[in-house]
Amino acid sequence: MNSQPVISMLAYPVKVVSSIGLLIFVLSLWMLPLRTNAQMTEKNPYARELDRIVLEMAGKLELLEVDSTMIPRSLRAQGDLAGVGSRDWTSGFFPGTLWYLYGYSGNPALLSAARTWTAFIEKEKYDGHTHDTGFKVYCSFGNAYKVQEKESDRNIIVQTANTLMGRFDPKIACIRSWDFNQETWQYPVIIDNMMNLEILFAATRFTGDSSYYQVAKAHAYTTLKNHFRADYSSYHVVDYDTISGMPRLKTTHQGYGKNSSWSRGQAWALYGYTMCYRETADPVFFEQAQKVARFILDHPRLPKDKIPYWDFDDPKIPNTPRDASAAAVIAAALLELSTYSRQEQTRRYWQAANTILKHLSSSTYRMKGEELPFLLDHSVGSKPHDAEVDVPLVYADYYYVEALIRANNYALSNMNNGSGLSW
């Protein structure tokens, strides 16, 4: 594999985070040039795991039929591939993972595949019926732009942001999530929606138009105000009254119960507010991310390996599934949050993320079967619906690879003082 620049996982902030010194610190971490594979392999396990994944994925691609209606999402009950079309909320994760792996390795087969699968997503730039255009387009075309900086990719991102802006209601100060269940919900907003704000911040950087930035920030503030409990755990769904603009219902759709802490929801919250701090330098978002991290890491039902059960409040714990996808999102978020934190917290976040990556990379969670285009097993989509329980999920792979790249950059920067590098 060739030595290539690692994709920067830190988008250029709209404002300088705290100070020029901190900005230099962050950029030195996230935009570090990739050393040769031999050098990396000698020094840390993240590069070894990434090298293995690059080779494995190149082999998987040779067996995968290119089909715009079969973008990898998961497995069916019979064990064959569950593929989706571009409209599905998960469609951007597979091409996004390929872009990450190409940015790390320079492998031309990964570049060709990344561009091919990404092209299927372009029409989603006009899909105004979902909040998940950020997931679909920014994970695919956003990662493509970070590697190649093509104007055409940037234009697709901006058009997608324009489409997403159409779901914002100034009275509620949030972007609407789902359109279904209208007999129950008036204006549902889910914690997952924090993840779709990143494309709006990007649109402001690309265009100089601050309206995208202002909408993203307003959504983050409203969610912070209404989605969180006193212990900083998050509700999954908050439904708003369309007349008053006030919350009328706080509940769940994928968690154990309306007052439970659905694990992936907590992961979305942690990642979302960490990203919002990066983009705005607003200390309120930094504090919120730290509080969510504390809730997760201090939870008495978080296992020692840091791979959470699908819901922190499932009464069947420990006899209930873990969720590798939640763990991968948590690891990626903690690694970024560690770059903004003081030394003691930095060490804690780093060590927790390292523990997660160590166990996700083990035979317990590694996907078995070279013919299927997945890396991790044992994720949970929606247990209340008995949908995608204890199976591979493409978004687990995406955030797992992202976390490995971040950890590799962290290790190469020598900022961890050599701790945690032996699995």
Q: Which three-class secondary structure string do you get for 21-76?
A: HHHHHHHHHHCCCCCCHHHHHHHCHHHHHHHHHHHHHHHHHHHCCCCCCCEEEEEC
User: Cα dist. 346→144, 303, 350, 392, 417 in Å?
Assistant: 30, 21, 6, 30, 12
- What is d(CA 372, CA 207) in angstroms, rounded to the nearest whole number? 40
Q: Given 67, 88, 132, 314, which residue is catalytic?
A: 132
Active site residue 192: yes
- What is d(CA 301, CA 278) in angstroms, rounded to the nearest whole number? 30
Angle formed at CA 331 by CA 330 and CA 332, multiple of 5 degrees: 95
Question: Tokens 């060739």 identify what position?
Answer: 2
Q: What is the three-class DSSP state of 380? A: strand
Helical (H) or strand (E) element with 169:
strand 168-169
- What is d(CA 252, CA 52) in angstroms, rounded to the nearest whole number? 38
> Residues 6 or more apart from 353 whose CB is under 8 A from it?
330, 331, 332, 334, 335, 338, 403, 407
Q: What is the three-class DSSP state of 278? A: helix
Active site residue 132: yes
Q: Given 153, 179, 192, 397, which residue is catalytic?
A: 192
Nearest to 408 by CA among 347, 327, 325, 335: 335
- What is d(CA 253, CA 193) in angstroms, rounded to the nearest whole number? 14
Q: What is the three-class DSSP state of 140? A: helix
- What is d(CA 87, CA 69) in angstroms, rounded to the nearest whole number? 10
Nearest to 311 by CA among 233, 255, 363, 360: 255
Query: Which residues are annotated as catalytic?
Result: 132, 192
